[in-house]
Amino acid sequence: MRNNTNSKERFIETAYKLFEVKGYNATGLNEILKESGAPKGSLYYHFPNGKEELALESIKLAGERITTNLRKNLDMFDNAIDGIVFNIDKLAEVLDNNKKMHDMSISLIALETYDSSEVLRNACEKVFETIENIYIKKLIDYGIDENKAKDIAMFVSVATEGAITLSLTKRNGGTLRRLGEQIRILANQ
């Protein structure tokens, strides 16, 4: 059973990495099989519903990693804004060093599947909601009114996703850093 579990984990991890970089539509099952090194027969054993089921598990993995990193970064600070800016700076560092996403966004798969798979759209929506809720909680804990915290959390989430896209396009984290600076300025008004 250990090999089956390892195969399943390898499939999910490989799919997650490929979907994050290449996208859902550009990643085929044969590529996932090849990159994972897992036995071909075990793919449909673990994922009898095929690519969509595998993508669902990879979205869950991405969500866990993104939210774990976000919580860790925010929890380093009592001041919610300092935590948010620190998190954005960490994302910028990843982009500066790797020139690609790594445990920071599900936007590519969300954009590719929102109209073709309700299952994957729902999974992406849940990840985005979880991210916003983490921001909301931190902002409320910092003393910000709940309604204002919800507005700020939505803005930070949307702006961060956009800044990730622009930073990837420019191949550096500069846009993310500028976003962090602007959030700090807006918070002090």
CATH number, domain containing residue 182: 1.10.357.10
What's 142's DSSP letter?
T
Domain total of the chain: 1
pLDDT digits (tens, 9 = 90+) for 146-158: 999 999 999 999 9
- Four-CA torsion 130, 179, 75, 55, nearest 10 degrees: 30
| Tens of pLDDT, residues 94-117 | 999 886 777 888 998 999 999 999
pLDDT at 160 exceeding the cut of 80:
yes
Look at residue 2 in the predicted model and tell me its pLDDT. 44
Q: What is the pTM of this model?
A: 0.91
Q: Tell me which of 44-58, 88-102, 168-182 is least confident.
A: 88-102
For 12, the domain range is 2-187
Residues 27, 66: Cα–Cα separation, whole Å: 21
Contacts of 121 (CB under 8 A, 6+ apart): 110, 113, 114, 115
Q: Which of 40-44, 62-66, 87-91, 152-156 has the lowest mean pLDDT?
A: 40-44
Of 38, 34, 29, nearest to 7 by C-alpha is: 38
Cα dihedral 65→69→71→74 (10° resolution): -160
